[in-house]
Structure 1
Amino acid sequence: MSNSVKRSLIVSMLVSLLMSLSSAALAVGAEVQEIEPEKGPHRGRMLREGDFAIELAIFETGVPPEFRVWASQGGEALPPENVKVSVTLGRLGDGDDQINFRPQDDFLRGDMEIVEPHSFLVTLNAAYGDKRYEWQYDNFEGRTRINDDVADAMGITTGTARSQVLVEQLPLFGRLVADTNALTQLSARFDGVIKAIHVSLGQQVKAGTPLMSIESNESLKSYVLRADIAGEIAALPVNIGEATAGRALVSIVDRSRQVVLLKAYPDDRRRIALNNSVQLRNDTMDVIGEGEVQWISPLLNADQSADIRVSVDASNLALPAGSFIRGDVEVARYEVPLAVKRKALQSFRDFTVVYAKVGDQYEVRMLELGREAGEWVEVLGGLKPGTEYVTDNSFIIKADIEKSGASHDH
């Protein structure tokens, strides 16, 4: 059994174990069920001390999410201008949000947008008359805790969100072909009978190397057919004693002088320029070399594609002429202030997210995404530069959070 297969089995077992532990924790929680927080008439959380009460709700109908507060005493609504309220949101790894309130209609309105995730330690301070009140509660969502040794065993790895150079590549397909004058097929100058063959298939020859001896039908004298280029004997479809009969007797190819011909259709062709770099891949998608766009055909083939000629160091390709090649042509390169790896992305509710890591805790970060190129995706919002985030096996974090049933409490 290979090491990669063993590792996959270990990860699967650990994920199953983690899920089982989460299920067990939920079962225990079901036995000792937490009391659901009291909700007020505006579907906000009720906070009470004596006969004084505060309802704190996130309001997001027609406006970005914001906190609103309704105050009451003895069940009677209080004028909002008579109550002072402030709220502090303690966020995981991102500092605190300090929210102040001003009267509006029959409520107090917070002065800042409550950005996602709505996951924080809430501290509310209120003042009415000569009395001061304070409440504190957890409002966590999209968050879980996994010990570092367990995370390591599961193959969970992280990176740091920072600026990146994005390289856009255009995948094209074609073949490896012999360059101009790098392939020759030799015939007899005078037809006759092959008397001797001096080379063999695959043999390297120089220009002028004797290839075979032929007895002319007219003079009955022998002459020598010689190589006209240096290269490898690629075809030798004859035997001693056969008549030359005007056919090709030997083919020589200079494998160091091969090029890649890719096909580009009009929309792609317009994005390609001379000297664009090209990453070459074989039929199993392994990278086998680099090249540059050397020529763009001004003519279209019957299928409306244009030939794109890519110069390569063919001596390192170790592929025969005619091999299928994929060429990833670089068409743009630019730096973005912030990017994350594409494989780190997961879905959470209606958002695309990554999982930020703070200590042994992981929490969603809802992203606004921009351009994509290769393994990177530009981040326009939702993540602070320098944030440590999960790059590999982020699906494990997603599964654990979904299993725990993290809520979205408004």
Structure 2
Amino acid sequence: MKYSALFLALLIAQGMAVAPAQAGPGHSHDEKPKTAQTNSAHAHDDSGHDHGSDHDDDHDEAATIDADMAKRVGIEVATAGAGTIERHIPLYGELVIPPNRQAQVRARFPGMITQIRPTVGDTVKKDEVLALVESNDSLRTYPVTAPIAGVLLQQYASQGEYTAGETLFSLADSSILWAELKVFPAAMDEIKTGLPVHIEARGGRVDSQISHILPASGQPYVLARVALDNSNGRFSAGERVSALVDAEIIDVSLVIDNKALQDLEGKQVVFVREGNRYEPRPLQLGRTDGRYTEVLSGLHAAEEYVVVNSYLIKAEIEKAGAAHEH
């Protein structure tokens, strides 16, 4: 969800505020701690938690947003916890129509085509009549029907023409496609049937699994075949695709959704929610699979962090910081 600067300002005026986590009245960034007691006060909060261990004192401001406002601007949180990181192997290939979903339609007996019913581009049902042919032998008219449901791709004859076994129509059902992915020798030992696969095309992602591995005649690779649901007609045969195969699934003790990550003052942070307060929390990150990332330090299990529209909080903290400097 994106907002114009004016709309964001109005939302902030209604319910969003940024307040220093430590600063009190009369506080100045130019002041220096004068006693050991002052330093101690800045190192610990009322609960005795040491911010120096897990938090970065550079980020000394947090946004305060009431629950109603957070809901209105679409801020959503997730709970930090254990999860998995996938080790991916990238593959590339193209989409094809399975052979059992294609048909070349011919007349059973030679004769004159007396009628053609559908036109190219029409969707037909299985056993629907495509044409009528008058047999040369019996002089009776018989129907030529669709052996499968699908789209009429080609028409090779016209009404009034004579047919003697030539292809009259070409049909295809593209509701299911195969992604045929090229697997070269370096990856062959790790690519197996049944492994999960994430197909990426047209800016989207479809999850499936490898159903077959078959040789490619005369080629230095094999093909990993992956079934792709295309009932919405989103994809087309012949389209190039990329894929990520889950070669390994690694259990980790703490993961976050990558959508939550923001860059603040050169550090990767998430915004942790405590009541109506959203605090930037710098993280030390580990492995990632592009969707989830392992957290090594800076966040604890069961803490709630913003996973949707975290950029709104970042924008307001940066705005407040800039105003504070002036």
Task: Give the alignment's TM-score, normalised by structure 2.
Answer: 0.70
- Contact 1:259–1:309 (CA under 8 A) maintained in structure 2: no
Deviation, structure 1 residue 184:
2.5
Work out the CA distance in 2 between the residues paired with 1:34 and 1:248. 86
C-alpha distance after superposition, 1:336-359 (max 9, x if no partner): 211112121122334211122223
Q: 1:284 to 1:196 in 2, by over 3 A?
A: same
Q: Which residue of 2 aligns with 1:156?
A: 75
Q: Which residue of 2 aligns with 1:46?
A: 34
Q: In the TM superposition, what are the counterparts of 1:191-206 in structure 2 within 5 Å?
A: 193-197=112-116, 201-206=122-127
Matched to 1:248, the amino acid is T
Percentage identity across aligned positions?
A: 24
Matched to 1:203, the amino acid is V
C-alpha distance after superposition, 1:25-49 (max 9, x if no partner): 99xx9xx7848334xxxxxx432xx
Work out the CA distance in 2 between the residues paired with 1:323 and 1:282. 12
Deviation, structure 1 residue 326:
4.8
Q: Which residue of 2 aligns with 1:391?
A: 307
Q: 1:346 to 1:311 in 2, by over 3 A?
A: closer
Of 312, 322, 328, which residue of structure 1 is paired with 2:237?
Answer: 322
Q: Are 1:36 and 2:30 matched, yes or no?
A: yes
- Contact 1:278–1:328 (CA under 8 A) maintained in structure 2: yes
SS of the residue 2:34 aligns to? strand
Q: Are 1:117 and 2:55 matched, yes or no?
A: yes
Q: 1:283 to 1:380 in 2, by over 3 A?
A: same
Segments of structure 2 that go 5 or more residues without pairing to the other structure are none
Q: Are 1:13 and 2:16 matched, yes or no?
A: no
- Contact 1:285–1:326 (CA under 8 A) maintained in structure 2: no
Deviation, structure 1 residue 248:
1.9
C-alpha distance after superposition, 1:124-170 (max 9, x if no partner): xxxxxxxxxxxxxxxx7432241415444443332221112344565
Q: Are 1:293 and 2:246 matched, yes or no?
A: no
Q: In the TM superposition, what are the counterparts of 1:266-345 in structure 2 within 5 Å?
A: 266=184, 271-278=190-197, 283=202, 285=204, 291-299=208-216, 306-311=222-227, 316-318=231-233, 322=237, 324=239, 326=241, 328-331=243-246, 332-345=248-261
Q: Which residue of 1 aligns with 2:149?
A: 231
C-alpha distance after superposition, 1:89-118 (max 9, x if no partner): 32487x434xxxxxxxxxxxxxxx943534
Work out the CA distance in 2 between the residues paired with 1:35 and 1:223. 95
Q: 1:238 to 1:335 in 2, by over 3 A?
A: same
Q: 1:153 to 1:186 in 2, by over 3 A?
A: closer
Matched to 2:212, the amino acid is W
Q: Which residue of 1 aligns with 2:283?
A: 367
Q: 1:341 to 1:353 in 2, by over 3 A?
A: same
Of 331, 344, 347, which residue of structure 1 is paired with 2:263?
Answer: 347
Work out the CA distance in 1 between the residues paired with 2:226 and 2:249. 19
Q: Max radius of gyration: which structure?
A: 1
Deviation, structure 1 residue 285:
2.6
Q: 1:181 to 1:392 in 2, by over 3 A?
A: closer
Q: How many residues align?
A: 311
Deviation, structure 1 residue 241:
1.1
Deviation, structure 1 residue 318:
4.7
Matched to 2:94, the amino acid is G
Q: Which residue of 2 aligns with 1:66?
A: none
Matched to 1:213, the amino acid is V
Q: Which residue of 1 aligns with 2:64?
A: 146
- Contact 1:276–1:329 (CA under 8 A) maintained in structure 2: no
- Contact 2:183–2:223 (CA under 8 A) maintained in structure 1: no
Q: 1:187 to 1:305 in 2, by over 3 A?
A: same
- Contact 1:281–1:325 (CA under 8 A) maintained in structure 2: no
Q: Are 1:184 and 2:103 matched, yes or no?
A: yes
SS of the residue 1:115 aligns to? helix
- Contact 2:103–2:148 (CA under 8 A) maintained in structure 1: no
Matched to 1:13, the amino acid is A
- Contact 2:65–2:278 (CA under 8 A) maintained in structure 1: no
SS of the residue 2:114 aligns to? strand
- Contact 2:62–2:280 (CA under 8 A) maintained in structure 1: no
- Contact 1:283–1:325 (CA under 8 A) maintained in structure 2: no
Work out the CA distance in 2 between the residues paired with 1:222 and 1:323. 42
Work out the CA distance in 1 between the residues paired with 2:269 and 2:73. 20
Of 123, 127, 132, which residue of structure 2 is paired with 1:212?
Answer: 132
Deviation, structure 1 residue 401:
3.0
Work out the CA distance in 2 between the residues paired with 1:237 and 1:307. 33
Matched to 2:305, the amino acid is Y
Q: Which residue of 1 aligns with 2:162?
A: 243
Segments of structure 1 that go 5 or more residues without pairing to the other structure are 39-44, 48-53, 58-85, 98-112, 120-139
Deviation, structure 1 residue 379:
0.5
Task: Give the alignment's TM-score, normalised by structure 1.
Answer: 0.58
